[in-house]
Chains A and B, each alone.
Chain A
Amino acid sequence: MKCLCLIAFVATPLMAGTDDVTATGDLGLVIERATGSLVLVDRSDRAAVGRIEGLGDLSHASLTYSPDERYAYVFGRDGGLTKVDILTRAVVARTVQAGNSIGGAISDDGKLVAVSNYEPGGVKVFDAETLALVADIPAAGKTIGLVDVPGRRFAWAVWDTGEVYLGDFSGAEPVVMPLGNAGKNPFDAVLTDDAHTYLVGLFGEKGVTAFDLWDANPKPQKFLTEYGRDGEDMPVYKMPHLQSWAFTEGQYALPAVGRHEILWVDRDSQATVATTAVHGQPVFIIAQPASPYVWVNFATPLNDTVQVVDSRSHSVVATLTPGKAILHMEFAPRGAEVWISSRDDNKVVIYDTRTREKVAEIDAEAPSGIFFTARAHQTGL
């Protein structure tokens, strides 16, 4: 140990001041969905600073970060789990762990990475260091809505059966507790920022089902079962996403499935507070940090538009057209900027959130998800 310290001490003054030292706190990765690559971006410089290739099929991909913001774990459609080193801009480990997967999460201590699989359905858990398989939890269908829960735990739901599970991976053997049935065809789920409530959105029936994860024996509590009774549902050309959605002003802002509406629900009583008519079928509804606003994008063919809604008045305060096929939005951690991916314009467009004016753009090949490293420190992502 003494020896290592000495080396570090000697090395530091040599490294400092040189250009090849990189801090990762303001970096991010943009998924290029068609080419199986990632663009490394620098948030402060509003610039692309590198590209990492060879990640397989990223047509529905997401990623999560190690606690030190050095490594990204990328979950690809083809079942590939890839560990990327942001500093060396290289793939350091890769395993094709299933035939078809949908997303993943990292445990609160950064030791385990869990992947949610469609084919074969289930959850696989890997050692974050080596990507060695730690646990394999089969499911009777496609798993969706996988989130990390404090205490080396993960929660997930099954599209085909509606069953919801909480897996505890803190001991020598995993303990998987069934939490009950959320309802018909859960399409995605999310954990509130305080890790209190696991919310499961339903596609096969109206409603959202909540599970109180602070309770020792969480039970399904369904709400929002009555929305849209007064009209015909519209086709859903893209499934809404619940991850990184909006919790603001004591409310949940939820996408109405089959309706061009945002539903506002009181966080405590689960009563519907308001409905906002919007441009199309909402896909992502994301809170602008440290503000009363949420930003929403829409399913094809109305996906050239982004709207900003005030969570106090529930009214649309801005309608922007950043580009063609807007797939995702990622806020700077303190909310000053939002980065928006325009798949069909092959660029990421950066907006100032105060002026709502475009301030820069970055080239990327068919970009989808944008992920800043600050996600490393957020529960439920």
Chain B
Amino acid sequence: MRSLAAVLMLALPVAAEVSPDRARTLEHLVIQDCGSCHGMTMKGGLGRPLTEDALKHADRVGLALIVLDGVPGTAMPPWRPLITEDEALWIADYLKGETR
């Protein structure tokens, strides 16, 4: 598990470099578009809850990879065609309450 995490860490940039403008767009995307399945308050819906509490122990890189590549066999789609790896990390940090 640890080695997988290490590989993942290498695969994605360490810091999420996102401009303030883009951050506002991403926040909107999270609330509105992620919100259509996970709820606008992230308490869950068709998708799992994504509250800070629910993600307390989640790894940010792992979360970013789920955002980028989706979860096969579920309704979670890959967002890689629409956002960069940096932006996915920003979303992971945002969901974990670490950008505010």
Contact = CB atoms under 8 A, between A and B. Distances in A.
B84 interface: no
A259 interface: no
Interface string A153-172: 00000010000000000000
A204 B46 CA distance: 13
Contacts of B62: none
B36 interface: yes
A97 B28 CA distance: 29
Contacts of A204: 73
A297 interface: no
Interface string A110-126: 00000000110000000
A33 B44 contact: no
Interface stretch (B5-13, B15-23, B53-61, B74-82): B74-82
B82 A236 contact: no
A100 B43 contact: yes
- The majority secondary structure among interface residues of chain A is loop
B40 A33 contact: yes
A238 B33 CA distance: 8
A59 B77 contact: no
Contacts of A159: 46
A236 B77 contact: yes
Interface in B31-79: 31-33, 35-37, 39-41, 43-46, 70, 73, 75, 77-79
A100 B45 contact: yes
Contacts of A343: 32
Contact of B39 (A59, A236, A238, A301): A59
Contacts, number: 63
Contacts of A78: 41, 43
B40 A57 contact: yes
A239 B39 contact: no
B23 to A, nearest CB: 17
Contacts of B40: 33-34, 57, 59, 77
Contacts of A99: 43
Interface string B81-93: 1100000000000
Contacts of B70: 235
Interface in A10-35: 33-34
B32 A203 contact: no
Given A33-B40, A238-B36, A102 B81 contact: no
Interface of B: 28, 31-33, 35-37, 39-41, 43-46, 70, 73, 75, 77-79, 81-82
